[in-house]
C-alpha cells in the first residue's frame, strides 16, 4: 500500500506526460492528417494552415490544465468542469484537422472547417508573385470577378511547384507577374 501512487500523483504524472508528448503531437498530427486524408494526385501543393497547429496546441493545453486541476481537487464540480473541458478540447482538436489550402491542376481549394471555397484556374485574371531575397514569397491572386486572395509560400513550395503555378496561370490566360517586394 505504501508503494502505490496516490490519485494526485497519477494526475500530475499524466499532466507531465501530456506536456512532454504534446509538441510531437502538435507538429506532426495536422500535417500527417492533411497529407493522408486530403492527398490527391491533382494537388500541386497542399498547405496545412498555421491555425491548425495553434488550435491543436490550445486543445492539448486545455487537456493538460484539466488534468492538473484534477490533481489538486476532485469533487462533483471539478468532474463536471472536466467533462465540459475535455469535450471542448476534443471538438477544438477535431476542427484543427479540417482546414487546408490545395493548389490543384484545375482549381485552388480553400477548406475552412466545414466551408469550402473553390476558384477555378480559368476564373483567375492575375497572379502576382512577390518575393524578398532570402525569404519565402507570397502569391496574390485576383479573379475575373475582382475577388482577391493571398497564399503565402512555405517549405512545400519548390521550383517545380512555382513553375507549375506559372504554367497553369499562362495556360488559363492569367497574367503572371513576378516582382521583388518593395518596402
The DSSP line for 3-36 is TSPPHHHHHHHHHHHHHHHHHHHHHHHHHHHHHH
Q: How much is the pTM? A: 0.85
Measured between alpha carbons, how far is 92 from 69 in angstroms, rounded to an integer? 20
* Tens-place pLDDT, residues 29-54: 999 999 899 988 889 999 999 999 99
- CATH 2.30.29.30 describes domain 105-180: yes
Domain boundaries, the chain: 7-95, 105-180
Q: How confident is the model at residue 86 (pLDDT cuts 50, 70, 90)?
A: very high
Q: 486530403: which residue's cell?
A: 38
Q: How confident is the model at residue 141 (pLDDT cuts 50, 70, 90)?
A: very high
- Close Cβ partners of 63 (under 8 Å, ≥ 6 residues apart): 18, 85, 86, 89
Amino acid at each position: 500500500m505504501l508503494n502505490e501512487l496516490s490519485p494526485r500523483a497519477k494526475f500530475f504524472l499524466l499532466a507531465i506526460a501530456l506536456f512532454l508528448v504534446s509538441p510531437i503531437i502538435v507538429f506532426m498530427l495536422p500535417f500527417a492528417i492533411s497529407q493522408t486524408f486530403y492527398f490527391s494526385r491533382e494537388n500541386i501543393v497542399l498547405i496545412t494552415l498555421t491555425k491548425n497547429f495553434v488550435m491543436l496546441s490550445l486543445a492539448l493545453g486545455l487537456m493538460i490544465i484539466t488534468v492538473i486541476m484534477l490533481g489538486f481537487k476532485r469533487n462533483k464540480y471539478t468532474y463536471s468542469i472536466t467533462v465540459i473541458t475535455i469535450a471542448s478540447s476534443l471538438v477544438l482538436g477535431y476542427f484543427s484537422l479540417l482546414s487546408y489550402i490545395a493548389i490543384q491542376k484545375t482549381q485552388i481549394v480553400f477548406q475552412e472547417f466545414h466551408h469550402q471555397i473553390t476558384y477555378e484556374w480559368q476564373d483567375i485574371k492575375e497572379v502576382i508573385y512577390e518575393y524578398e531575397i532570402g525569404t519565402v514569397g507570397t502569391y496574390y491572386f485576383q479573379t475575373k470577378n475582382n475577388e482577391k486572395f493571398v497564399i503565402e509560400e512555405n517549405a512545400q513550395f519548390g521550383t517545380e511547384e512555382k513553375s507549375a503555378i506559372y504554367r497553369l496561370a499562362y495556360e488559363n490566360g492569367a497574367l503572371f507577374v513576378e516582382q521583388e517586394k518593395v518596402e
